[in-house]
């Protein structure tokens, strides 16, 4: 669903009605111009400075849900490859970069799959294949691409121009 369609819905519905339509989480990020050049299918190294650049273009919203063809029922795959549940088209993101999993207690974790450029949750690097808890509203960096994990309530506020995080 496009940002314009989501914004139109947010303008028509109450926050609770909007949230009822979207019970899943989302990834929010800014699509940036590729500073390295034409994207290729090979994972590219990024410097820490390049990874910290401010977003310079349009806000994108991606549903954090499983693809119907994914054989793993307990995890959501994130990566650059087309067969991932969540596809992030950025040369610093590995083909199969990480898994996001809902734990039995309802919390969420991210697991880096030994990606080339790593995964960072709110400034803390995810090491090895150890699950790291993630919370709604936190920033997660896959390679050099920073996304924010949001629920429908937070997305609603963002779409109406009211940041739920202040200046973060």
User: Using one digit for the tens of pLDDT, what is the confidence trace for 111-168?
Assistant: 999 999 999 998 899 987 789 999 999 999 999 999 999 999 999 999 998 877 765 5
Q: How many Å apart are CA 149 and CA 120, to the nearest integer?
A: 13
Helix (H) or strand (E) holding 49: helix 48-51
pTM of the model: 0.80
In this predicted structure, the answer to whether residue 32 has a pLDDT above a threshold of 80 is no
Mean pLDDT value across the chain? 86
pLDDT-based confidence at residue 53 (cuts at 50, 70, 90): low
What is the per-residue pLDDT for 86? 95
Q: Could you give the angle at the alpha carbon of 87 between the alpha carbons of 78 and 91, nearest 5°? A: 95
What is the per-residue pLDDT for 50? 64
């Amino acid at each position: 669903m496009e940002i314009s369609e989501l914004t139109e819905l947010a303008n028509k519905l109450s926050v609770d009605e909007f949230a009822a339509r979207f019970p899943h989480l989302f990834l929010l990020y800014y699509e940036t111009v590729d500073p390295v050049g034409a994207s290729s299918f090979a994972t590219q190294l990024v410097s820490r400075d390049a990874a910290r650049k401010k977003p310079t273009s349009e806000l994108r919203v991606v549903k954090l849900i499983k693809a119907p063809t994914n054989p793993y029922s307990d995890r959501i795959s994130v990566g650059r490859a087309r067969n991932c549940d969540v596809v992030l088209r950025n040369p610093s993101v590995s083909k199969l970069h990480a898994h996001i999993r809902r734990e039995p207690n309802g919390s969420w974790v991210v697991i880096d799959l030994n990606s080339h450029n790593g995964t960072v949750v709110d400034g803390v690097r995810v090491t090895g294949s150890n699950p790291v808890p993630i919370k709604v509203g936190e920033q997660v960096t896959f390679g050099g691409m920073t996304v924010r994990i949001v629920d429908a309530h937070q997305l609603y506020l963002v779409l109406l121009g009211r940041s739920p995080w202040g200046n973060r």
